[in-house]
Amino acid sequence: MTTAAIDNAAAPTAKQRWLLLGMVVSTATLYSMTLLVVSVVLPQIQGSLSASPDQISWAMTYNILATAVVTPISGWLAGRFGWRRVMLFSLAAFGISSVLCGLATSLETLVLFRILQGGFGAPLVPLTQAVTLSVFPRHQHRLATSIFGMGVVIGPIIGPIYGGYLSEIYDWRWVFFMIGPMALAAWIGLWALLPDRGREMKVRFTWFGFVALAVGLGCLQLILDRGQRLDWLDSFEIVTEVVIGLMAFGIFIAHSLLARTPLLDFRHLANWNYTLGLMIVTIYGMLNFTPMVMLPPMLKELGGYPDSIIGILIAGRGSGAVVGFFVAAWIGKLDPRVGVSMGFLLQAWSGWIMWNFNADVAAIDVMTTSCMQGLAVGLIWVPLTVSTFANVETAHMAETSAVYHLLRNVGSSIFISLSVTTVIRTQTMNYGALREYITPFNEAFHRFSNITGMELDKLGDLARLNDLLTDQAQMIGFLNAFGLYTMMCLAVLPLILMIRPPPRK
Within 10 angstroms of residue 265's Cβ, the number of other Cβ atoms is 16
Q: What is the pLDDT of residue 4?
A: 42
Q: At what angle do helices 83-103 and 179-193 cross, to 10 degrees?
A: 170
The closest alpha carbon to 400, from 241, 278, 230, belongs to: 278
Of 324, 32, 21, 304, the C-alpha closest to 162 is 32
- In the chain the first and final C-alpha atoms are separated, in Å, by 24
DSSP state of 266: G
Which stretches of 5-150 are assigned E, i.e. beta strand? none
pTM: 0.85
The dihedrals phi and psi of 81, each to the nearest 5 degrees, come to -115, -15
Q: How far apart are CA 323 and CA 150, in angstroms?
A: 11
CATH topology match: 1-204 vs 268-505: yes
DSSP class of 504: P
Pick the CATH number of 268-505 from 1.20.1250.20, 2.60.120.430, 3.30.1360.70, 2.60.40.10: 1.20.1250.20
Tell me the per-residue pLDDT of 172-188, one tens digit each, with 9 for 90 and over: 999 999 899 999 999 99
> What is the fold, at CATH topology level, of the domain defined by 1-204?
Growth Hormone; Chain: A; (1.20.1250)
Residue 44 to residue 305: CA distance in whole angstroms: 12
* Residue 203 confidence (pLDDT): 62
Domain boundaries, the chain: 1-204, 206-262, 268-505
Whole-number Å distance between alpha carbons of 80 and 86: 9
Mean of the per-residue pLDDT values of the chain: 85
CB atoms near residue 504 (< 10 Å): 5
pLDDT digits (tens, 9 = 90+) for 425-455: 999 899 888 888 888 777 877 787 777 777 7
**Burial class of residue 279, CB neighbours in 10 A (0-12, 13-18, 19+):** middle
Counting every residue written for the chain, the total comes to: 505
Is residue 286 classed exposed, middle or buried when 0-12, 13-18 and 19+ CB atoms within 10 A define those classes?
buried
Low-confidence residues of the chain, pLDDT below 50?
Answer: 1-9
Alpha carbon distance 417, 414 (integer Å): 5
